[in-house]
Amino acid sequence: MTIKVGEKMPVGAFKMISTEGPQELSTEVLFSGKTVVLFSVPGAFTPTCDAKHLPGYVQHADALRAKGIDTIACIAVNDMFVMNAWGKASNVGDKVMMLADGNGDYSRALGLELDARGFGLGMRGQRFAIIVKNGTAAHVFIEAPGKFEVSAAEYVLGRL
């Protein structure tokens, strides 16, 4: 079942590269006591994700924080090394956390997996953005297939 407004976010964990090397980040640590924008892209370095989705959050990070967002986190069904390389290539710095949902477990737990086998990409996560307040989904923005509108940083910013 797809996550809905007012529901608790599923328990899970992501992989990431920190200054200390590879590490796991639990959803409890990510969401507890914070307001987080969690956005998902079908894949690192893929056209819309690389040209528009991630850059929008980097560009609008300060404005999102000014509206009460503590953390901006990008997830994709890619490994932590790819997510780290994409973050470096996109100059995200400390504006966006680059989190790997390597096996798609969290995307599945949210009910937001995407069958991209027709494109040779396997199972991925749908394009979406969720505003999470202290572990609860406050806003859920899920893109229609092939669209990039409601999960964009500008759209999310306009809803805060």
Residues in Cβ contact with 38 at an 8 Å cutoff, skipping those fewer than 6 apart: 30, 73, 75, 129, 130, 132
Between residues 155 and 146, the one the model is more confident about: 155
What is the structure's pLDDT at 120?
A: 65
Instruction: Encode pLDDT of 26-81 as tens digits.
Output: 999 999 999 999 999 998 888 887 889 999 999 999 999 999 999 999 999 999 99
Is there a contact between 95 and 61 (Cβ–Cβ < 8 Å)? Answer: yes
Domain residue limits, the chain: 13-158
Residues designated as active site:
49
Instruction: Encode pLDDT of 83-106 as tens digits.
Output: 999 999 999 999 999 999 999 999
Q: Decide: pTM greater than 0.85.
A: yes
> How far is 67 from 49, CA to CA, in rounded Å?
24
- Is the pLDDT at 134 greater than 90? The verdict is yes
* Fold that domain 13-158 belongs to in CATH: Glutaredoxin (3.40.30)
Tokens of 110: 């949210």
> How far is 45 from 124, CA to CA, in rounded Å?
14
